[in-house]
Structure 1
Amino acid sequence: MARDRLAVLNAMMDQGVIPVFYHPDPAVCVKVIQACANGGAKCIEFTNRGDFAAEVFLEVTRHFAKADPSVIMGVGSIVDAPTAGLFIANGANFVVGPLLNPDVAKVCNRRQIAYSPGCATPTEIGQAQELGCEIVKVFPGGSVGGPDFVKAVMGPMPWTKMMPTGGVDVAEASLRPWFEAGIVACGMGSNLITKSLLDAQDYAGLEARVRDTVQLIRTIRGK
């Protein structure tokens, strides 16, 4: 079910960290996503990276529509408009990509779906803003300059809302410089949903890790 775009954006910013995850088994996806949601991160970015990913995504979104409607499913690794449309039809409430594609922005705007494209320069960020993107993904976060890049952009463009992915982990030494530089959220994959937790099927441990990360971000923000 489609959600209000502004409500989705506010939820992303409020939790501060967007778990980024993909697995070919819908049952594993459900357990991981529920653990993240229980830990306070209800906005989840499912990455479009495996064969038949759209079918897995559909099965997972159908599950949460009934089991836990508070979960907000988004899709990542989107590079073209047809794929964006497919996932929106399958229940995506926000779209994230590694690059900026105006055709994806047009599809998302038509359906009032939040779009966070990957940007690595002030020019790309400005183009994304002209296309109606409220939150831009800084990608790859650690490679484009890290928190210093965010500070540099926020000087002449203080209205910018940035969400780095790549180069961010759960440690305060990593999170604090990013948030103090001015980001509104960060995307986090294997640094949050670790291989060791997945291998052990330790979903309680994952829930605790997510909860601690969300709380640490709140503390850094002074909330």
Structure 2
Amino acid sequence: MTQAWIAKLRDLKVMPVIQIDNANDAVPLAKVLVENGLPAAEITFRTAAAAESIRRIREAFPEIVLCAGTVLTKEQVDAAIEAGADFVISPGFNPTTVKYCIENNIKMIPGVNNPSLVEQALELGVTALKFFPAEASGGINMLKSLTGPYGQIELMPTGGVNPQNLLDYLAIPQVVACGGTWIAPTAAINAHDWDSIARNVREAVKLTQQ
């Protein structure tokens, strides 16, 4: 796959996975990400503030790689794209939602964690996939087992990825980037602890440059 958006993910190597409870925190958070070298964010649809947060970030930082995570329904797909998301990510593989995205030319990374789900994705022509929950599903060993017979897939492992195992995941050729919840924890966002988030961002960027 050579799509430009996948190439951007490969360049980033890490995608901060973020839950925002208050949309007023969206732009200050995005500013920290951008200024510390990681112009990307996956805003999860786990709160009512998700769509508005995406909208505000997109307006403030037009060039940021911005996606919506935990997208479970067609309605959430529409809300995310309308707000300005570049693409959507789901934790699992819902054929109805995946087909909706294909039919409407919406970029999507659905979640898989076993061969059967990979084959469902390939049947629909989808090769960019989220490996979730990564560590709970077998981690590096499971990922290597999946990429053996399915060399055409490109993966974003998420769930249990951290500074200690990040480089092990990125060493697998089919891994384009890893989702990281440790970079901007919700508690730190709610406390406006931008300094600690900035440190996490810089640490992640430094790791990926090794």
The interval holding the TM-score normalised by the smaller chain is 0.7 to 0.9
- Residue 57 of structure 1 corresponds to 51
TM-aligned CA deviation for residue 105 of structure 1: 1.9
Q: 2:180 aligns with which of 181, 188, 195?
A: 188
- Residue 179 of structure 1 corresponds to 170
Paired with 2:60 and 2:144, the residues of 1 have a C-alpha distance of 41
Q: 2:123 aligns with which of 124, 130, 143?
A: 130
- Residue 30 of structure 1 corresponds to 27
TM-aligned CA deviation for residue 180 of structure 1: 2.1
Paired with 2:30 and 2:119, the residues of 1 have a C-alpha distance of 33
Indicate how the Cα distance of structure 1 residues 110 and 215 shifts in structure 2: closer, same or farther if over 3 A, else same. Answer: farther
Matched AA of 1:161: E
SS at 1:187 equivalent:
strand
SS at 2:204 equivalent:
helix
Q: 1:40 aligns with which of 37, 40, 47?
A: 37
Report if aligned partners of 2:158, 2:178 keep a CA contact under 8 Å in 1: yes
SS at 2:72 equivalent:
coil
- Correspondence list, 1:114-193, <5 A: 114-171=107-164, 174-182=165-173, 183-189=175-181, 191-193=182-184
Indicate how the Cα distance of structure 1 residues 10 and 111 shifts in structure 2: closer, same or farther if over 3 A, else same. Answer: farther
TM-aligned CA deviation for residue 200 of structure 1: 5.1
- Residue 76 of structure 1 corresponds to 69
TM-aligned CA deviation for residue 167 of structure 1: 1.4
Matched AA of 1:187: G
Matched AA of 2:179: G
Paired with 1:164 and 1:28, the residues of 2 have a C-alpha distance of 26
TM-aligned CA deviation for residue 119 of structure 1: 0.5
TM-aligned CA deviation for residue 34 of structure 1: 2.1
TM-aligned CA deviation for residue 33 of structure 1: 2.1
Q: Percent of aligned pairs with the same residue?
A: 28
Paired with 1:39 and 1:135, the residues of 2 have a C-alpha distance of 27
Q: Does 1:16 align with 2:9?
A: no
Matched AA of 1:209: N
Give unpaired runs (5+ residues) of structure 1.
Answer: none
Report if aligned partners of 2:112, 2:132 keep a CA contact under 8 Å in 1: yes
Across the aligned residues of Structure 1 and Structure 2, the Cα RMSD in angstroms comes to: 2.2
Paired with 1:20 and 1:103, the residues of 2 have a C-alpha distance of 24
Paired with 1:89 and 1:147, the residues of 2 have a C-alpha distance of 35
TM-aligned CA deviation for residue 24 of structure 1: 2.1
Indicate how the Cα distance of structure 1 residues 83 and 168 shifts in structure 2: closer, same or farther if over 3 A, else same. Answer: same
Paired with 1:100 and 1:69, the residues of 2 have a C-alpha distance of 29
Indicate how the Cα distance of structure 1 residues 218 and 132 shifts in structure 2: closer, same or farther if over 3 A, else same. Answer: farther
Matched AA of 2:169: W
SS at 2:167 equivalent:
helix
SS at 1:140 equivalent:
coil
Report if aligned partners of 2:92, 2:111 keep a CA contact under 8 Å in 1: yes
The Cα offsets for residues 75-133 of structure 1, whole Å up to 9 and x where unpaired, read as: 11112222212221222211111111122222322443321111010121122233233
How many pairs are equivalent?
Answer: 208
